[in-house]
Amino acid sequence: APLAGELRCRCPRTVTGMIPPRRLARLELIAEGPHCAVPEVIATTKQGQTVCLSPAATWVKPENGKNRDLKHF
């Protein structure tokens, strides 16, 4: 069932530019589902700014193992 209050995609656009993880307060990975056909990655900075990251951005994508940038979490 879609999460309460989230009946649509939350990211009208995404950025691929890297945000230094030490500036991040929170990172949300939301799987695609009935509410949105694409997975979404939403970063909240320590200044409270919310940015939608492209799931394909190399520094976000964990599967190729090379990018260790998320290790700061």
- Interface residues with a second copy (CB under 8 A) are 1, 3, 21, 24-31, 33, 39, 41, 44, 46-48, 55, 61-63, 65-66, 68, 70-73
Element (H, E) at 30: strand 24-30
CB neighbour list of residue 43: distance below 8 Å, 6 or more residues apart: 19, 24, 26, 27, 28, 50, 51, 52, 53
To a second copy, the closest distance from the beta carbon of 6 in angstroms equals 9
To a second copy, the closest distance from the beta carbon of 3 in angstroms equals 6
To a second copy, the closest distance from the beta carbon of 23 in angstroms equals 9
